[in-house]
Structure 1
Amino acid sequence: MSSDFYKASILPYAAIIIKICRAYTNSQEDFEDYYQEVCLQIWRSRENFNEHAQWSTWVYRLSLNVCLTLLKKKKNTYQHFASDMLPEEAAVDSHAFADESLNQLYDAIKQLSEVDRGVILLYLEEKSYQEIADIIGTNPNNIGVRIKRIKERLKKLLDGKVN
């Protein structure tokens, strides 16, 4: 991957890539692996960009898909090797990052379904319902309803009312 491609096509979107990767990982090591894999897949897939959507929409969608794929692979591996472990032993330190209030938000977001995580991250990035729908692959009306439900769930999680 050339540094010019990285600077022009990935770096401007690094913040959202970082947020998406962080929402699907529990450790700094996993986060770095996910981020690297997203960047690699953007570079490998650059020829597939068809310009029907904006580059940013394509990057967000690809980032979500890569993270979901890696998470699925990790779950399959984890279930295979960790079946004898107790839940306390299997837990990974989810506070691998410095800001405690941000950690609490990410901990709550991680309790959402995999798709809902992506939706709320894009919403927090102030993407329009239409943009989120394009990235997720649904319609804007569904996004509006989904965001309302996600916000209610996050409020409950952050208030400590739901485990």
Structure 2
Amino acid sequence: MSSDFYKSSILPYAAIVIKICRAYTNTQEDFEDYYQEVCLQIWKSRDSFRQKSEWSTWVYRLSLNVCMTLLKKKKNNYQYFASDALPEELVEDSHAFSDEALNHLYGAIKKLSEVDRGVILLYLEEKSYQEIADIIGTTPNNIGVRIKRIKERLKKRLNGKVN
């Protein structure tokens, strides 16, 4: 992967990838593995980007798909790759892992289904129902219903601590 591609096409969207990877992993090692795999898949798939959506929308969709695939592989006990450290540019963002309230929220999100995790992450990123529907592959009405139900489940899991 060229350094220029990483700096121009992945690094500006690293926060997206980090949030999605974090929601699908339980350990720092798994997080790093998922992050690397998402970056690799973005690079490998860059030529298949047809510009029918924004680059960020495509990164979201690809990140969700990669994380869900890796999660399924892990559930089936496949070994898929070794971990290296995160790039230095992202180390400063790792302080978010020590925030207790955020960890509590991510813990509740991790108990959701794979698709619902993706939906709520996109909602928390303030994506419109249409954007979420485009990324997930459903209708905006379906997204509205899902978000309402997800919020109710999260409230119960967080003992009413979320508005």
How far does residue 13 in structure 1 lie from its aligned partner after superposition?
0.9
1:148 and 2:148 matched:
yes
Distance 2:7 2:137 in 1: 28
The answer as to 2:44 corresponding to 1:44 is: yes
Deviation by residue 1:10-50 (Cα, 9 ceiling, x = unmatched): 11111111000000000000000000000000000000001
- Does the 8 Å CA contact 1:28/1:97 hold for their aligned counterparts? no
CA displacement at 1:97 relative to structure 2: 2.9
Aligned pairs for 1:71-82 within 5 A: 71-77=71-77
Paired with 1:53 and 1:19, the residues of 2 have a C-alpha distance of: 21
User: Structure 1: where are the runs of 5+ without partners?
Assistant: 79-95
> Which residue in 2 is equivalent to 1:117?
117
Q: Which runs of 5+ in 2 are unaligned?
A: 79-95
Give the SS at the match of 1:77: coil
| Segments of 4+ moved more than 6 angstroms | none
CA distance, structure 1, for counterparts of residue 97 and residue 50 of structure 2: 36
Secondary structure of 1:112's partner? Answer: coil
- Residue 129 of structure 2 aligns with which residue? 129
State the one-letter code of the partner of 1:128: S
Q: How many matched pairs? A: 143
Aligned mates of 2:98, 2:136 — CA distance in 1: 30
Q: Tell me the distance in 1 between the aligned counterparts of 2:71 and 2:150.
A: 20
Residue number in structure 1 paired with 2:12: 12
Structure 1 position 7, deviation (Å): 1.0
Q: Which residue of 2 aligns with 1:100?
A: 100
Alignment correspondent of 2:93: none
Distance 2:146 2:155 in 1: 14
| Letter matched to residue 134 of structure 2 | D
**The structure with more radius of gyration:** 1
How big is the shift at 1:55? 0.8
Normalising by structure 2, report the TM-score: 0.85
Q: Measure how far apart 1:63 and its partner are.
A: 0.1
The percentage of aligned residue pairs carrying the same residue is 85
CA contact (8 A) 1:108 1:158 kept: yes
Q: Give the Cα–Cα distance (whole angstroms) in 2 for the partners of residues 127 and 70 of structure 1.
A: 24
* Amino acid aligned to 1:73: K
Which runs of structure 2 are paired with 1:58-73 in the superposition (5 Å)? 58-73=58-73
SS in 2 for 1:97: helix
SS class of match (1:41) = helix
- Residue identity opposite 2:104 in structure 1: Q
Alignment root-mean-square deviation, CA: 1.4
SS at match of 2:76: helix
